[in-house]
C-alpha cells in the first residue's frame, strides 16, 4: 500500500499570522516519522473570495483538486473570538465531497490553547463527513510564543502531536477503504 497523503492546513490568512511557524514545526515532527507524505496546505495560497460574492470557479477547482489529493488533515487552528477564523470556515465551505470520509487532527493555539476553536471546528467538519481524532495539541499564547509572535513550543507538546498523528494515520487509512 502506498503512503497516505496528509495535508497540514494553515487556518489563517491574516498579516502577521504565526500559523506558518506552527505548521513547519508540525511538518518537521511528522516528516521524521516516515509513515506518510506530509505537506503544508496554506489556504492563503488559494485566494478564495467569500463564498457567493463573486465567481471563484478557478480558485474553487484548484482548492477542491488539492483536497481530493489528500487522505487526511492536520488543521493548524487559531482561536478568534472563541471560534475558528472566517477564512478557514470559508475554505471549508468551498468544498464538500473532497472532504468526505477523511480524518482530521488538530494543533491549536490561543489564550486557552485554542480549545474553543477546535470544538467549533469538530462540529463543522462533522457536517462535511470528516472524522476527527480525539488527541490534539493545544498551545498557549502565554507559554509557547515569545511576545505573541515567535513560536517556541514546550517539549511536552511532542507527545500529543505524535499521538494525534498516530490517530490521523490510523483513521485516514481505514477511511481510505470507503473512498476506493
* 4 in any annotated domain: no
Can you give the CATH number for the domain in which 57 is found? 3.40.50.360
- pLDDT for the residue 113: 94
* 27 in any annotated domain: yes
* 156 in any annotated domain: yes
Q: Which domain holds residue 30?
A: 14-178
Q: List % helix, strand, coil for the chain (3-state, nearest 5).
A: 40, 25, 30
- Are the C-beta atoms of 151 and 144 separated by less than 8 Å? yes
In order along its 180 residues, the chain shows pLDDT tens digits of 689 999 999 999 999 999 999 999 999 999 999 999 999 999 999 999 999 999 999 999 999 999 999 999 999 999 999 999 999 999 999 999 999 999 999 999 999 999 999 999 999 999 999 999 999 999 999 999 998 889 999 999 999 999 999 999 999 999 999 998
- pLDDT for the residue 149: 87
* 69 in any annotated domain: yes
* 5 in any annotated domain: no
- pLDDT for the residue 46: 97
* 19 in any annotated domain: yes
- pLDDT for the residue 1: 63
Sign of torsion over alpha carbons 39, 81, 129, 173: positive
Half-sphere exposure of 170 (CA within 13 A, CB side): 10
- pLDDT for the residue 130: 98
Sign of torsion over alpha carbons 111, 89, 75, 38: negative
Total of domains in the chain: 1
* 29 in any annotated domain: yes
* 8 in any annotated domain: no
pTM over cut 0.85: yes
Amino acid at each position: 500500500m502506498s503512503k497516505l497523503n496528509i495535508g497540514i492546513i494553515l487556518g489563517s490568512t491574516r498579516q502577521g499570522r504565526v500559523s506558518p511557524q506552527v505548521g513547519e514545526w508540525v511538518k518537521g515532527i511528522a516528516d521524521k516519522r516516515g509513515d506518510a507524505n506530509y505537506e503544508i496546505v496554506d489556504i492563503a495560497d488559494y485566494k478564495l473570495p467569500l463564498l457567493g460574492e463573486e465567481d471563484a470557479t478557478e480558485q474553487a477547482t484548484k482548492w477542491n483538486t488539492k483536497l481530493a489529493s489528500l487522505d487526511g488533515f492536520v488543521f493548524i487552528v487559531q482561536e478568534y473570538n472563541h471560534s475558528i477564523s472566517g477564512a478557514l470556515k470559508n475554505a471549508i465551505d468551498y468544498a464538500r465531497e473532497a472532504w468526505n470520509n477523511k480524518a482530521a487532527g488538530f494543533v491549536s493555539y490561543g489564550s486557552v490553547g485554542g480549545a474553543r476553536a477546535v470544538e467549533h471546528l469538530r462540529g463543522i467538519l462533522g457536517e462535511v463527513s470528516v472524522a476527527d481524532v480525539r488527541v490534539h495539541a493545544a498551545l498557549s499564547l502565554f507559554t509557547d510564543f515569545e511576545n505573541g509572535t515567535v513560536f517556541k513550543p514546550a517539549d511536552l507538546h511532542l507527545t500529543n502531536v505524535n499521538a494525534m498523528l498516530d490517530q490521523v494515520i490510523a483513521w485516514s487509512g481505514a477511511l481510505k477503504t470507503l473512498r476506493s
